[in-house]
Amino acid sequence: GQQVMQIPQYQHVQEGEDFTTYCNSSTTLSNIQWYKQRPGGHPVFLIQLVKSGEVKKQKRLTFQFGEAKKNSSLHITATQTTDVGTYFCAGSSNDYKLSFGAGTTVTVRA
């Protein structure tokens, strides 16, 4: 079945630095979604990518969908303490099944 792998599992970042989390699927995806879960909270939708090669930005966050629609990335610039949390990617194929990656847990050193 479809599997979505996410790396790294943990990311320790100095405040002000950039980092990237990657998401890879074993199959071609129809879309990919990104969610953020703050400590003690629930996942909150960030963005959805649908088109091959699509790039979307939300302030300091840049999301990309690969040309083959099998991978995606989230790049955060100038990390702030508000970026702490776990970032999940979730991919869907044409079978309406949404598979979540294991998540990247981000901690920030002030």
Partner 1 sequence: KAGVTQTPRYLIKTRGQQVTLSCSPISGHRSVSWYQQTPGQGLQFLFEYFSETQRNKGNFPGRFSGRQFSNSRSEMNVSTLELGDSALYLCASSRGRTGGNYEQYFGPGTRLTVT
Rounded Cα distance, 31 and 90, in Å? 9
Rounded Cα distance, 74 and 102, in Å? 14
Residue range at the interface with partner 1 (CB under 8 A); choices 15-23, 41-49, 53-61, 65-73: 41-49
Nearer to partner 1, 48 or 77 (CB): 48
Q: Which of residues 63-102 bind partner 1 (CB under 8 A)?
A: 88, 92-93, 95-102
**Contacting residue, 11, 33, 64, 71, with partner 1 by CB under 8 A:** 33
Rounded Cα distance, 91 and 19, in Å? 21
Q: Which residues bind partner 1 (CB under 8 A)?
A: 30-31, 33, 35, 41-45, 48, 50, 88, 92-93, 95-103
